[in-house]
Structure 1
Amino acid sequence: MDIHLSAAHWIYLAGIVVILITMALRKNIVVPAVIATLLTAWVFSGSIVTGLSSIFNASLVAAQELFNIFLIIAFITAMLGALREMGADKLMVTPFRRVMRAGTSSFITLAIVTYVISLFFWPTPAVPLVGAVLIPVAIRAGLSPLSVGMVIAIAGQGMALSSDYIIKVAPGISATAAGVDPDGVADKALVLSLITGIAALLITYVMQRRTWRKPSADLLVAWENKADKLGLPEDGPGSGAGGTGSARDGGDGRTPVPTGSGGTSATATLVAADTLTEPAPSNSLAAKIFATLVPAAYLAFIVYLLLGKFTSLVPPLQGGDAAGIVGGIAAILLFAACLTNDKRDCLESSSTHIIDGLVFAFKAMGVVLPIAGFFFIGSGDFSARVLGMGADATGPAFLFDLISAAMAHVTPSPFVLGFGVLFVGIVAGLDGSGFSGLPLTGSLAGALGPAANMDPATLAAIGQMGNIWSGGGTLVAWSSLIAVAGFARVPVLTLARKCFLPVMAGLVLSTVFAILVF
C-alpha cells in the first residue's frame, strides 16, 4: 500500500529525532516534546489555534490514560508514610539479618530482599530500608561496598523496576502506547527482567567474589569511618528529562525531589546520611503487627493472582483490576495504620498522607504527561482527541505511517528490530529517568511489530527493558544510582562503570531470548 507522507509526518519525525538527541545530551525533553506537538498539529491542521490547543489536549489525553498510575503511586506512598511513623517499615526487613553470616549468603539475601521490596513497593523504600538495616550487616559479613551497591542496583532499580509486575505502572505506559494488553507486556517483561537480572547478578558474583573478605567487625568499623565525600557531583546532570527515576527511587517519601529540579546528587546523599543515622526500628506491638500484616496482605494477593492465572479455583482478574486492588489494599492498610498511630486524629492524618502521596506522584510522574502527549499524537488511537477532531473522527497515525513507509524499502528482520528497539530504550534512558522513554518504545513497538511479524507486546517489553535498566538506576550515574552509591559509600561513577558489563550482557541475552522464544 502506497502511503503519502505529508509535511506533518516529517515534522513529527523531526520531533522524534530532536527528542532522541536531547536525551543523548542528558537534557530535559519536555520543551522539545511540547514544541514538536505544537508544530505537528499546526502543520497538519493549518491552524495555529489547533496547534496551541493541542499542547493542552495532548497532556490531557495522556493524563486521562495514565491517571490510574498516579493514584496507585499516591496510595502506596501514603501507606509507606504511615508505616514509617510506627517503625514498621524497617521491621519488615530485620528478620533477614539472621541469615547473613558470610559473603555468599549476604549476596543472595541482599538480592532477594531488595527485589521483593522493590517489586511490591518500588525501589523508593527498598534503598533506604536495605541501606539502613542490611548493608552494615553485609559489610560485616565480608562483602565489599562496591559489591553491595551492584547487588542493590541490579536487583532493585534493574530487575524489579524493569518488570514492575505488581504495580504495573511501566507495563501500563508501554502497553497504552503500543495499543496492546498491559498484562501481555507485563508477563513478557517479567520473564525478560528475570533473565537480565539473574545473568547480571551471576556475572557480578563471579567478578566481585575475589574482593570479599572474611567476616569481621573491623570491616564494619572501617566502612563506617570512611570519608563521606565520594566525588559525587554537587549539581550533576540531574536536569535530565523525566525525573521519574530519581524522584521515585532516590527519595524515600520524605524528600521527593524530581530529577528536573537539579541537585539530585546532594539530595540523595543527604537522604542516605539521614537514614543511616535514624534510630533503631520500633519494637512496639503495633509495628510488629503491621510489619507482618503488610507483606502477608500482598503475598495473599499474589497467590490469588497466580491461582486465577493458572487454575480455575478463583476467577482471573481482568484489565486494570490487579492495579486497582494493589491501590485498594494500600488504602485500607493506610487507614488502619493511621488509626493505630493516632486514634484521635486518624482522619486528618490519613488525608495528610494521601495528599503527600499525590504530591509525590505528580512530582515523580507529572513530567511524563507532555512527553507521552507528543507520542500519543502520533497514534491513530489518540490523535483525533489531541487535535480536537471530534469523538467519531479518525485521526492521523503519523508514527505508523512513517514506519510503514520505511518498511516498504527494507526487509524486516526480527533481530534488527528487536535490538533496534532495545537501543532506542537505552538511549531514552540516558536522561536518568526510568519511565519517560516508554511512550516512545511502546509506540515504536505498536507500529513496527506487525511489519516484522513480531508481537508488539514483545517489542514493548524489550524497549521497556532498555529504558528502565538504563535510566532506572543501573547504567547512568545521574539517575537514582546516586542514592545506592550514597548508602554503599562508593563513588557513583565507579558503581555505574562496574554495572555496565553485567547489565549489558543480561540485556543482550534477554533480547535474544525474546526474539527466539516469544
Structure 2
Amino acid sequence: MAIQLCSLHYIYLLLIIIIFIFMVLKKDITVLCMLGIFILGLTATGSIPTAITGVFNSFILAINELLGTILIVSVITAMGVILNKTGINKAMVQPFTKFIKTPTLAYWIIGIFMMIISLFFWPSPAVALIGAMLVPAALEAGLPALGAAVAMNLFGHGIALSGDFVIQGAPKLTADAAGIPVGKVVSASIPLVAVMSIVTTVIAFIMIKKDMSSGKLSIDKKDLKFDDEDTHEFKDLLSEKAKKMFALIIMLMFAFDIYLMYKLNLQGGDATALIGGTALVILVIITMYVKKKEASSLIISYIVDGFVFGFKVFGPVIPIAAFFYLGDLGFIKVFGEVLPKGSTGLVNDLGLALASTVPINAPIGATTLTTVGIITGLDGSGFSGISLAGSVAKIFGTALQRGTATLTALGQISAIWVGGGTIIPWALIPVAAICKVDPFELAKRNLKPVAIGLIVTTIFAMFLI
C-alpha cells in the first residue's frame, strides 16, 4: 500500500517536470536544481537558514557519493599527461597502424581501439590519442575523415561511455539515484549496450560505404595535422625501445586488472580502486624514470592537472546530482527526520502511489526512460542528467515491482548516446576538431544510426523488464 503523499512529494514531482521542460528548451538546470533544494528544505523545515544550509549540505552529500568517480577520472587524466609528454601513448597504438589497409579495416580498427582506450581513460584523452596516430593511417587507407570521426564517436562516446564498465562513473550516478547497487546496473546494461552497439555501428558503416561509392564522401588530406609535437616535451628522454617497453607493460598491467576484476568479482568501488591504483603506479614509475630529481614535484603537478580536469567535468554535475540524491533517503541525511512516517524516500513513495493509481507496463516504462534519457542528453553533457534517469527508473521499477536495473541502464544509455558526444553538435567539437570536419555535419551523419539504435534497444528492453 502506498504511503500518504504530502506537499514535499508534489513539489519534488513538479520540480522534476520543470527540469524536464528546461532541458527540452536547452536551458541550464544547475541553478534550478539549487533553487529546488532550497524550496524543498524550506517546505520541510519552515526555516530559511536551515534551507540555505541544506543546499550546502546536499552538495557535501553529492560530493561524498561522487568522490570516488571524480578521483578515478582525475588520476587517469594525470597518468595520461605523462604518457603524452613521453610519447608512450604513440607507442601504444603504433602496432595497430600496420593493419589499417582498407577503409573497412580503418573504420572497425579505429572504432574498436577507441572503445578500448575509452573504457580505461574515457573518450576525452582517447580522442587525441586516436587522432594523432590512427586517423592519418585511415586517410591513407581510403577512409574519409568524416568516416573516422563517426567511428570515434560511436565506439568511444557511444559504446564505451554509455556502458562505462571499467571506470563505472555513469553506473555510479544512475545506480545511486535509483537506489540499487552499481553491479546491478552494469549487469543490466550489458545486453542493452550490445544491441545498441551492433545496430548503430553497422548502420553507420553501411551508410558510409554507400556514400563513398556514390561520391558523397571523399578524402581531403590537405591541412590535416593530427599531432602537436610540442606536447611531447619528454619524448627525447626515452628511446623507441623504452617507449615500446613501457607501452607493453602498461597494457599488461591493465589486462591483469581485468583478469583480477573477473577472478575476484570486483565491481563498483573495488574495481575503480584497482584501476585508479594501477594508474597511480604507472604515473609514479614513468615520471621517476624520465625525471628522477624533479619527479616528486612533477607527479604532484600532474595530479593537480588531473583534478582540475576532474572537477571541470563533474562541477556542473554536483548541484544536479545533489537535487536527485534528495529523492532517496539522502533527504533525511540533509534535513533530518522530516518525511512522513514509513516513508522510504520521495521517489519510492511516488512510485508506490503511481502503482496504485496508474496502469504501468514494460512498454510504457521502457519508452519513458528512453525519452527521459534523450531529454537529459539535450544539453550536450551525457552525465549532467543521468541522475534524473535513475530517479525516474526507480519510480517505474517500484510501480512495476521489477525491472529497475534494466530501466536505469536504458535511461543511462539513452542519455549518454545523445548527450555524451554522438548527436549534439556542441558535444562533438573535440572529435570534429581533431578530424577537421564540421561538427554539425558529423551530428547529422550520426543521427540516423543512433535514432534507429535507440528504437531497437528500447523494444529489446521491453522484453527484459
Q: TM-score range by the shorter chain?
A: over 0.9
Query: What amino acid is the match of 2:209?
Result: R
Indicate the larger mover: 349-358 or 423-432. Answer: 349-358
Q: Aligned-pair distance for 1:303?
A: 2.1
Question: 2:90 & 2:20 partners in 1: Cα distance?
Answer: 40
- Determine which of 364, 367, 378 is the counterpart of 1:430: 378
Indicate the larger mover: 277-286 or 333-342. Answer: 277-286
- Determine which of 302, 306, 321 is the counterpart of 1:353: 302
Q: Aligned-pair distance for 1:98?
A: 0.3
Is 1:19–1:29's contact at 8 Å kept on the other side of the alignment? yes
Is 1:384–1:395's contact at 8 Å kept on the other side of the alignment? no
- Determine which of 340, 347, 363 is the counterpart of 1:415: 363
Q: Give the secondary-structure state (helix, strand or coil) at the position aligned to 2:420.
A: helix
Is 1:434–1:473's contact at 8 Å kept on the other side of the alignment? yes
Q: Give the secondary-structure state (helix, strand or coil) at the position aligned to 1:320.
A: helix
- Determine which of 445, 448, 455 is the counterpart of 1:508: 455
Question: 1:32 & 1:326 partners in 2: Cα distance?
Answer: 35
Runs of 4+ in 1 over 4 A off after TM superposition: 279-283, 393-396
Question: 1:225 & 1:120 partners in 2: Cα distance?
Answer: 31
Is 1:429–1:472's contact at 8 Å kept on the other side of the alignment? yes
Decide whether aligned partners of structure 1 residues 115 and 2 sit closer, same or farther in structure 2, where only a CA change above 3 A counts. Answer: closer
Deviation digits for residues 433-475 of structure 1 (CA, Å, limit 9, x no counterpart): 0211111111122232131133211111001001100110001
Question: 2:450 & 2:464 partners in 1: Cα distance?
Answer: 21
How many residues were matched structurally? 455
1:58-69 to structure 2, matched below 5 A, reads 58-69=58-69
Q: Give the secondary-structure state (helix, strand or coil) at the position aligned to 1:296.
A: helix
- Determine which of 312, 316, 326 is the counterpart of 1:367: 316
Question: 1:40 & 1:184 partners in 2: Cα distance?
Answer: 30
Give the match for residue 441 of structure 1.
Answer: 389
Deviation digits for residues 165-186 of structure 1 (CA, Å, limit 9, x no counterpart): 0111111111111111111111
- Determine which of 474, 477, 480 is the counterpart of 2:422: 474
Decide whether aligned partners of structure 1 residues 2 and 396 sit closer, same or farther in structure 2, where only a CA change above 3 A counts. Answer: closer
Question: 1:407 & 1:348 partners in 2: Cα distance?
Answer: 58
- Using structure 1 for the length normalisation, give the TM-score: 0.84
Decide whether aligned partners of structure 1 residues 450 and 280 sit closer, same or farther in structure 2, where only a CA change above 3 A counts. Answer: closer
Q: Give the secondary-structure state (helix, strand or coil) at the position aligned to 2:151.
A: helix
Query: What amino acid is the match of 1:286?
Result: A
- Determine which of 240, 246, 253 is the counterpart of 1:290: 246
Q: Aligned-pair distance for 1:78?
A: 0.9
1:100-249 to structure 2, matched below 5 A, reads 100-212=100-212, 222-225=220-223
Decide whether aligned partners of structure 1 residues 399 and 329 sit closer, same or farther in structure 2, where only a CA change above 3 A counts. Answer: same
Q: Aligned-pair distance for 1:280?
A: 10
Question: 1:39 & 1:517 partners in 2: Cα distance?
Answer: 38
Question: 2:454 & 2:249 partners in 1: Cα distance?
Answer: 36
Is 1:368–1:435's contact at 8 Å kept on the other side of the alignment? yes
Is 2:163–2:189's contact at 8 Å kept on the other side of the alignment? yes
Q: Aligned-pair distance for 1:347?
A: 1.1
Give the match for residue 407 of structure 2.
Answer: 459
Is 1:103–1:212's contact at 8 Å kept on the other side of the alignment? no
Q: Give the secondary-structure state (helix, strand or coil) at the position aligned to 1:474.
A: coil
Give the match for residue 256 of structure 2.
Answer: 300
Q: Give the secondary-structure state (helix, strand or coil) at the position aligned to 2:13.
A: helix
Q: Aligned-pair distance for 1:213?
A: 7.0
- Determine which of 285, 288, 293 is the counterpart of 1:344: 293
1:313-324 to structure 2, matched below 5 A, reads 315-317=264-266, 319-324=268-273
Decide whether aligned partners of structure 1 residues 318 and 169 sit closer, same or farther in structure 2, where only a CA change above 3 A counts. Answer: closer
Is 2:146–2:435's contact at 8 Å kept on the other side of the alignment? yes
Question: 1:2 & 1:502 partners in 2: Cα distance?
Answer: 41
Is 2:393–2:408's contact at 8 Å kept on the other side of the alignment? yes
Question: 1:68 & 1:52 partners in 2: Cα distance?
Answer: 26
> Does residue 1:489 correspond to 2:440, yes or no?
no
Decide whether aligned partners of structure 1 residues 322 and 90 sit closer, same or farther in structure 2, where only a CA change above 3 A counts. Answer: same
Q: Give the secondary-structure state (helix, strand or coil) at the position aligned to 2:357.
A: coil
Which has the larger share of helix?
2
Q: Give the secondary-structure state (helix, strand or coil) at the position aligned to 1:276.
A: coil
Q: Aligned-pair distance for 1:23?
A: 1.6
Structure 2, unpaired ranges of 5+: none
Structure 1, unpaired ranges of 5+: 227-272, 309-314
Query: What amino acid is the match of 2:402?
Result: M
Q: CA RMSD in A?
A: 2.1
Q: Aligned-pair distance for 1:415?
A: 0.9
Query: What amino acid is the match of 1:181?
Result: P
Question: 1:68 & 1:118 partners in 2: Cα distance?
Answer: 18
Question: 2:412 & 2:391 partners in 1: Cα distance?
Answer: 11
